[in-house]
Amino acid sequence: MTTDNPFSLSGKVAVVTGGSSGIGAASVRLLAGAGARVVVGYNKGADRAAALIAELPGSGHQAMYLPLENSAQIRNVAAAVKEGFGRTDILVNSAGFTRMVAHRDLEALDDDLIDAVLTANVRGPFATIRAFVPMLRASGDGVIVNISSGAAQSGTGSSIPEIRVVVVAPGMVHTGFVPGRTEEMMAKAALATPLKRAIEAHDVALAVMASITHLTHTTGSIVPVDAGRHL
């Protein structure tokens, strides 16, 4: 009979972006409480990060400047973690950015705001994963947790009333869209689908037309045109 705690993170190293406040800070406390050494990534919260580390159980925790818009600095942090800790087992992408904008005020969603949101919420987490994935692979038990939002499944906060919005999501389409993709590759992809059919541009265009002319009560939906690949 073993008395080992199966939920212990002793010996693990966790990196948390946006770790100085909110969900990130709450995650840091639980990770440290479970025995992990935690790197608290922060952007403007240096003082908050330092105060948080001072209250954490265990030792070896460290705050690091981790701005999502700066891929070079993200790589610097990954290198510093490798040098200082020798490993990364857990990456929690909690950092993000948003701003309240009224549904109908499309002009308030200017280019600068859109760029800031996409950088923080899309490019930044990807750049962080890219920088840390070699250590996560080497861990043998690495895990990435990305904090998203219920808004990803609902239109709250982002949909525009009275105008239908439909996404047509094709699989591998038999076109020259992707440079270097061969006929053999496309044929193999088609055979891997339940319908075993190649998807032509015309098939996708039919879905576009159906969304406009036939699916008149459909909005906020994704229409797959992938010969069943999603199954």
State the DSSP string of 19-65: TTSHHHHHHHHHHHHTT-EEEEEESS-HHHHHHHHHH-SSS--EEEE
Give the residue ranges of the chain where pLDDT is below 50. 1-2, 159
Closest CA to 185 of 174, 177, 196: 174
Q: Which two tokens stand for residue 170?
A: 């094709």
Question: What does the pLDDT read at residue 177?
Answer: 87
Give pLDDT tens digits for 24-47: 999 999 999 999 999 999 999 999
Give the pLDDT of residue 96: 84
Strand 62-65 and strand 90-93: the pairing is unpaired
Residue 184: name the closest of 171, 174, 196, 195 by CA.
174
pLDDT at 153: 66
What domains sit in the chain, N to C, each tagged with a CATH number? 13-150 (3.40.50.720), 166-225 (no CATH)
pLDDT value of position 138: 94
Q: Residue 77's closest CA among 109, 49, 102? A: 49
Closest to 132 measured CA to CA, from 16, 29, 2, 4? 16
Task: Provide the pLDDT for residue 212.
Answer: 84
Maximum CA pair distance of the chain? 66
Dist CA 30 CA 167 (whole Å) = 38
What are the phi and psi torsion angles at 195 (to 5°)?
A: -85, -15
State the CB neighbour count (10 A cutoff) for residue 115.
Answer: 12
**Rounded distance between C-alpha atoms, residue 91 and residue 132, angstroms:** 8
